Amino acid sequence: MSIEWDAFLNVFVGALIGASVVVLFYACGLRLLVRAGRAPVVGPAEFTDAITVISEKEAQRAQKAAAKAARKSPLTFSQKRIALYGAYACFTLCGAALLGGVLMIVFKNALFG
């Protein structure tokens, strides 16, 4: 039994680069979404066991703080619109990177003979 270290290194570097690209685009998309004044606020959920759940009052406070931050934004309407489109583009690229990775796994034999 022998290990093909070149193949192992190729897979390792590819996975590292792929994960970095997905995280980079998601983080940039989230940042642009906040700059556009659309901070994502997640409502409380009902969980069991040891998971901490925020109350309805805390969720309303977070939503109110996000709305206040959106009103205080120094960006003009067109700048906010551009940031929003940039966020959508980043999320699209993130999804495309994930889809590309899945397609490479599924169609590996067709692409690499």
Amino acid 61: pLDDT: 86
CA angle 18, 22, 25 (to 5 degrees): 135
pLDDT confidence of 58, banded at 50, 70, 90?
confident
Rounded Cα distance between 88 and 69, Å, is 20
12-45 per-position pLDDT tens digit:
888 899 899 999 999 999 999 888 888 776 655 5
Select the more confidently predicted residue: 34 or 108.
Answer: 34
Q: Of 37, 23, 27, 49, whose CA–CA distance to 75 is shortest?
A: 37
The answer to whether the predicted template modeling score (pTM) of the entire model surpasses 0.75 is: no
Joined together, the tokens standing for residue 43 give 């409502």
Rounded Cα distance between 61 and 54, Å, is 11
| Structural domain boundaries in the chain | 5-40+49-66+75-112
Instruction: Yes or no: say if 40 and 33 are a contact pair by the CB < 8 Å rule.
Output: yes
Q: Report the length, in residues, of the chain.
A: 113
62-75 per-position pLDDT tens digit:
888 877 776 777 77
